[in-house]
A and B are shown apart, each in its own frame.
Chain A
Amino acid sequence: MEQKAAREVVVGVTDRNQACHGKVALWLLPAMAGLCSFAQAATLPVDNVDVLYHRYDGGGMVIDGPSVLVRKSAGPQVSLSGQYYVDSVSAASVDVLATASAYTEERTEYTLGVDYLYERAIMSLGFTNSSENDYEANTLYFTVSQEFFGGMSTVTLGYAGGWDEVGKVGNDSFSEDADRRNFQLGLSQVLTRNTLVGLDLEVVTDEGFLQNPYRQNRYLDPNDATSFLYQPERYPETRTSTSVAARAIYHLPYRASIRGEYRYFTDTWGINAHTVELGYAHGLNDRWTLEGSVRYYRQGEADFYSDLFPYENSQTHLARDKELSSLSGTTLATGAVFEWKQTSLPGIKRLQFSLLLDWLNFDYDNFRDVTAPGNYLPGEEPLYSFDALVTRASLILEY
């Protein structure tokens, strides 16, 4: 009984990196840098409160929570911001159910940032801490954005350093480090009075304990070819990735815009990926806008990935993390935006409320569902796929 309880504690968190940690730094960078859109680069972000409720529901995972960001200027050249963000996770995904029991947990994140405007440049500095019961992530970021060519071109350089501490529930002596560095270079360009384009390059290097301490991979049981056994994951201790993206957005003759985006990704684990996205925004009147977009993503698998290894420790690095498998993902998104400029609300200059719904579908080419009902030989289970609905309700008040 005692043994069973211990197992549940340990394996119950098998899916944690699904939820969030370890990737905090990357998605924070653009948001916290406080940079403006193409046409307004050398102005500080407007004072605002940005409140978001987010909910992800799919593949056995429900993750929701609030996010609150407050931004306030301090004089004409400085803008300060603070953010509080929560992920409440309820997990019973295929990874968890294969070897463990469902669990719940919470991740909390705080960010403090400062933006400094100097002539036609904005410098941004910030710090983020993200905390879970088995993972602590700290990130320091710095970006410089400079306008050129009469404000038609903006170049941005960014750097972020991340220092993570990986723990393991049920094993207090387990503690590993993972460090991360991000290097960003961005160019945005006004092409015509209706067209904006952007190019981005980002190199990310990781070093340390890069795998999930709870996840396992499987291999054929040498004593019984009709079954399989589990062994721990073993990843390389370094990873470097490069992403290049091109974007364009065009204002149609009426009040609507179309946008397109392509990104290429490659890394030293042998993964290549392509992302394509197309979007349309349609202004119904001064206050209401409707939006829609389609996104397609495809990646190849890591060199050391396998759904089923032939025998125990059959190679140096071993992974059966489905995020390292060959997969494709499709997103259909829609949204409605209400914008109220020069509001009659006391102290509020502009209000924007958005309700956004995204439907995501992921199909795996080489990750099999070991929880599928029925009797299957190892390696003959049905391929895994799932879909998810992401709901976002966002309120931005400028004051």
Chain B
Amino acid sequence: MPGRTKVMRRFTIIMPLLLTLLLSATAGCSPVKPWVKPYERDRLADPIMSLSRHGRADSYMHHVYQARESARGAEGGAGGGCGCN
């Protein structure tokens, strides 16, 4: 199936990139120390900095789009900054 091969090829390109990013961002593998201290994160904790401030109301919109568009997935809940609570 040519379509599947195409997807797999893209997948094999994306995965190493993501893993590299992931490794470089994790503490155990990097000599770099966290440069934004917990006490410097007050702005980040402000609800206006949440990508999903409205809880269920936000995930409802994913539903609206998935029913009308072919695209699906990577809506941002899996670690990309959900802020669902």
A30 and B40 within 8 A (CB): no
A155 and B7 within 8 A (CB): no
Cβ contacts under 8 Å, A37 to chain B = 45, 49-52, 81-83
* B72 contact from A26, A198, A270, Cβ within 8 A: A26
Cβ contacts under 8 Å, A358 to chain B = 61, 64
Chain A residues near B (Cβ < 8 Å): 17-20, 23-24, 26-31, 33-40, 45-46, 48, 50, 52, 54, 56, 67, 69, 71, 83, 143, 145, 148-158, 182, 184-194, 196, 198-204, 240-245, 247, 249, 251, 255-257, 259, 261, 263, 265-271, 273, 275, 281, 283, 289, 297, 299, 302-303, 323-324, 327, 329, 335, 337, 339, 352, 354, 356, 358, 360, 362, 390, 392, 394, 396
A52-B60 contact, Cβ under 8 Å, with A156-B79, A202-B74, A255-B46: yes
Q: B42 to chain A: closest CB distance in Å?
A: 8
Q: B38 to chain A: closest CB distance in Å?
A: 6
Kindly state the separation between the CA atoms of A263 and B66 in the bound complex, as whole angstroms.
14
How many residues of B are in contact with the other chain, CB < 8 A?
68
B3 interface contact, C-beta 8 A:
yes
A-B contact pairs, 7 of them (CB 8 A): A24-B63, A188-B80, A201-B14, A241-B72, A268-B7, A323-B67, A356-B54
A30 and B71 within 8 A (CB): no
A299-B71 contact, Cβ under 8 Å, with A31-B59, A283-B48: yes
How many residue pairs link A and B with beta carbons under 8 A? The number is 314
* B33 contact from A143, A150, A242, A299, Cβ within 8 A: A150
| A305 to B, closest residue via Cβ | B70
A52-B57 contact, Cβ under 8 Å, with A150-B34, A299-B71: yes
A56 and B64 within 8 A (CB): yes
Kindly state the separation between the CA atoms of A198 and B7 in the bound complex, as whole angstroms.
22
* A26 contact from B6, B21, B49, B73, Cβ within 8 A: B73
Residue of B38, B62, B64 with most partner-chain A CB within 10 A? B64
B81 and A196 within 8 A (CB): yes
B69 and A266 within 8 A (CB): no
| A246 to B, closest residue via Cβ | B80
A30-B62 contact, Cβ under 8 Å, with A200-B74, A268-B3: yes
Kindly state the separation between the CA atoms of A299 and B27 in the bound complex, as whole angstroms.
39
Cβ contacts under 8 Å, B58 to chain A = 31
